[in-house]
Structure 1
Amino acid sequence: MLNNLDIDLLRTFVAIADLGGFAKAGRHLHKTQSAISLQMKRLEAQSGSKLFRKAGRRQLLTEPGELLLNYARRILSLNDEAAAALRPIPLQGQIRFGVTQDFADRGLAAVLARFADHHPGVRLDVRVNPSCELKQQIAKGKLDLAVAFQERGDRGDSLGKLQLSWIVPESYSEPDDQPLKLVLFEPPCVFRDRVINALEKASMSWRVVYTSPSLPGLLAAVDAGLGVTARLSNRHRAPATGLPKLQPVELAVYRNPQTTPAPLDVLEKITRAHIQNNLEELV
């Protein structure tokens, strides 16, 4: 007889995997670490598999744990979407939603379209801008909700960390004694900071040859061979021996504290579920 997997346990399991440990998941879910541990013991009993293994002081996923993680993301995504779609009270109002260019074409547009179809009484105003602009618009009350990259000192609610990868032209060769040519967004930009910090730490010389406010412009410059950049995509990954490892970036949701309409609660929940349950597909 097959066992049913508890949704709440799966949600905690995914949070542990995304946030990097029991303690961080506990803080995010407002639960004690012992409560998180008990939940995972219950999930292991339900699944019939050992999901974690110790590596020093860290808890890493076992092979069955990695397998379950993929299913858990899909289960949670469908669960949260169904719960929102079946909400009995018709929603009314307006939501001004902001998102970075990196996520405007990564499935989130389809989520927003479904939300608009399910809630025709809600006027959805979507704006695609750099993270720094989105956070400024939240602070000024010009946006209700935004998904943006978080920097130290920001007050967003973390959705998880994403690894950056170098993106290079097809003609790329490992750096010689010449400065590495960079194609970057205009400052301020967390990706730009990660790139420059990594090169400085590796004592590699560099120079910015192309700046652009748009992601398509950035990628076009790389494809043309003007230089290298770093994004979430792993295409054209440079050899590890040629360029230094980049520190991950943290994605967060920002909400205007002055706006609390019911439609905003629903959209925030759907957005969180989509991103957190599809983090592996977003890199």
Structure 2
Amino acid sequence: MVLSPAGVQFLSYARRILSLAEEAKQALHPTTPGGSLRLGAMEATAASRLPPLLTRFQQQCPQVDITLITQPTRQLTEGVLTAALDAALVCLPPGADGQPACPAELAFTPVFYETLMLVRPQTPGPLRFAAFASGCSYRALGERWLAEQQAAVEVHEVNSYHSMLACVASGRYACLLPESVLSLMTLPENCLSEPLCEATTQLIWRSGLSAPALSEWRKLLQSVAIG
């Protein structure tokens, strides 16, 4: 079943109403955060940054029911805008002024600073680019680099960083991933890695949303914001 435009709008309103109801319920017990907290994160952040933080948050707020999904930045941003998510860790693309392009309805704060590593075969030659689905900020950065090196850019979409490295190991692909993720993996012997650029991971949430569970999550992230 596919929703009509009116149905999509109605669903967005319904999610916001449910979110407000959850916020109101949590507000009754401001000193003891509880209820649900729906989080989103990029695959890289979930793999390399979140495990110890989620453990620590659960110890501090045991009554909060956390759910986590992983998606590219564009899809996560849409999820927060439509109230499908309470907050998400994303890499906002730069605007014309060079600052993060964040929708007006959302607030954000920088949390992690990543060095993005270009991984490619040792043997030179034309390369395809292994990346996540469209909407991934790292993919956009990698495509831009490859377009500067060769006339045509062919993207092969994968579902994991392990798949990316496997593609590179085949000798015909390049990929881009955070150093924090690469450090958890084994670089294939026939591959090279080098820093390409820096990227910032931001926490985004709907402006005005002040549920105690979200406030505690923001405090925790701000206390450990690292590079």
Same fold (TM over 0.5): yes
Correspondent of 1:238 among 192, 198, 202: 192
Correspondent of 2:204 among 254, 260, 263: 254
Say whether the 8 Å CA contact 2:118–2:177 is kept in structure 1.
Answer: yes
Residues 269, 224 of structure 1: alpha-carbon distance in 2 compared, 3 angstrom cutoff: farther
Superposition pairs for residues 29-108 of structure 1, below 5 Å?
89-108=31-50
More strand by share: 2
Aligned to 2:84: 142
Match of 2:192, as an amino acid?
A: A
Aligned to 1:122: 64
Correspondent of 1:218 among 133, 149, 164: 164
Higher RCO (CA 8 Å, separation ≥ 6 residues): 2
Consecutive unaligned residues of structure 2, counting only runs of 5 or more, are 1-29, 95-100
* Partner Cα distance (2:124, 2:172) in 1: 14
Aligned to 1:42: none
Residues 252, 221 of structure 1: alpha-carbon distance in 2 compared, 3 angstrom cutoff: same
Residues 103, 229 of structure 1: alpha-carbon distance in 2 compared, 3 angstrom cutoff: same
Match of 2:176, as an amino acid?
A: A
* Partner Cα distance (2:37, 2:109) in 1: 19
* Partner Cα distance (1:247, 1:206) in 2: 22
* Partner Cα distance (1:260, 1:117) in 2: 21
> What SS does structure 2 have at the residue aligned with 1:141?
coil
> What SS does structure 1 have at the residue aligned with 2:135?
coil
> What SS does structure 1 have at the residue aligned with 2:202?
strand
Superposition pairs for residues 134-283 of structure 1, below 5 Å?
134-152=76-94, 153-155=101-103, 156-159=108-111, 161-168=113-120, 172-176=121-125, 179-201=126-148, 203-208=149-154, 210-233=156-179, 236=187, 238=192, 246-257=196-207, 259-274=209-224, 276-277=225-226, 279=227
> What SS does structure 1 have at the residue aligned with 2:39?
strand
* Partner Cα distance (2:155, 2:74) in 1: 22
* Partner Cα distance (1:151, 1:163) in 2: 15
1:227 to partner: Cα distance: 1.4
Identity %: 18
Residues 230, 268 of structure 1: alpha-carbon distance in 2 compared, 3 angstrom cutoff: same
* Partner Cα distance (1:120, 1:251) in 2: 26
Consecutive unaligned residues of structure 1, counting only runs of 5 or more, are 1-87
Say whether the 8 Å CA contact 2:129–2:143 is kept in structure 1.
Answer: no
Say whether the 8 Å CA contact 1:210–1:226 is kept in structure 2.
Answer: no
Say whether the 8 Å CA contact 1:94–1:122 is kept in structure 2.
Answer: yes
* Partner Cα distance (2:197, 2:159) in 1: 22
* Partner Cα distance (1:148, 1:198) in 2: 21
Aligned to 1:55: none
CA RMSD of aligned residues (A): 2.6
Aligned to 1:68: none
> What SS does structure 2 have at the residue aligned with 1:154?
coil
More helix by share: 1
Match of 2:165, as an amino acid?
A: L
Say whether the 8 Å CA contact 1:164–1:232 is kept in structure 2.
Answer: yes
